[in-house]
Amino acid sequence: MKILVPAKRVPDPNSTIKVKPDGSGIVTDGLKWVINPFDEIALEEALRIKEKLSGSEVVLVGIGAKTFSEQLRTGLAMGADRAILVLTEEPLDSLAVARILQKLVTDEKADLVLMGKQAIDADSNQAGQMLADMLGWPQATFASKVELAADQKSLQATREVDGGLEVLSMPLPAVVTADLRLNEPRYASLPGIMKARKKELKEIPLGDLGVDTAPRLKVLKMEAPPKRQGGRKVETVEALVQALHSEAKVI
């Protein structure tokens, strides 16, 4: 089985994010970058499947500048077999990303795509759904549990919905997007880091794919959220109700 895992390079969630004065983006000087946490969870699930099924291959895919190779090497150190980096300096929207992934999935003849449900920077939650539609494959989003059938021809995915848990059954090939509770990603071991240096990391210029990546979405401006005002104490329940009514306007 060949499992393709798309991974996005995002700012470290523990970093302090600052918006540029002109609102054109975020300040990247000195910013630490990591694999999108949801994509890291998807990679961990792919590795667990690989460990159960001998002969399986996990292919990590990144889209971005050459510097993204550092994060892809981390994924290789975790256990991915090889990586593909589509080189581009262009900002890409979800539709463009889905089209690039469609091309790679087709070329690689993947049996399963495992990816994060969303990226923590843009929070669009669109690429996985778009990819499944373009491929004509069944999909399971927000998966908190994935189980392959013994014949490796189908899978069951459990997803959390407002009313509880929903279990979906679908044939392969399929697209599955990972939720936070799917698993706990492993750390890259020292032997894994050493092996990662010798693993293949193929770079493909975006133009070589022949994919339409013209943007359909344009970010006009970014603004930092307003600073939260400090709370205050009230002496009685009546004062609290009055504040909620007149100031917060929630009742």
What phi and psi values does residue 86 have, to the nearest 5 degrees? Answer: -85, 115
Token pair 């970014």: residue? 222
Distance (Å, whole) CA 97 – CA 107: 15
Asked if 142 and 182 touch (Cβ cutoff 8 Å), the reply is no
pLDDT for residue 14: 87
Q: Where are the alpha helices (DSSP H) in 33-114?
A: 37-52, 69-78, 94-108
Which residues in the chain land under pLDDT 70? 248-251
Token pair 């495992």: residue? 114
Taking every pair of C-alpha atoms in the chain, what is the biggest distance, in angstroms?
69
The tokens for 216 are 């359909």
pLDDT for residue 127: 94
pLDDT for residue 234: 86
CATH number of the structural domain 2-219:
3.40.50.620
pLDDT for residue 226: 84
Pairing of strands 154-161, 139-148: antiparallel
pLDDT for residue 248: 66
Distance (Å, whole) CA 31 – CA 232: 35
pLDDT in tens, 159-213: 988 889 999 999 999 999 999 999 999 999 999 999 999 999 999 999 999 999 9
Mean pLDDT of the chain: 92
Distance (Å, whole) CA 67 – CA 201: 12
The HSE-up count of residue 213 (CA atoms within 13 Å, CB side) is: 24
**Strand segments (E) across 118-248:** 139-148, 154-161, 164-171, 174-178, 201-205
pTM more than 0.75: yes
Domain ranges of the chain: 2-219
242-247, Cβ contacts within 8 angstroms, sequence gap of 24 or more: none
Q: In terms of Cα–Cα distance, which of 5, 12, 52, 8 is closest to 30?
A: 12
pLDDT for residue 251: 66
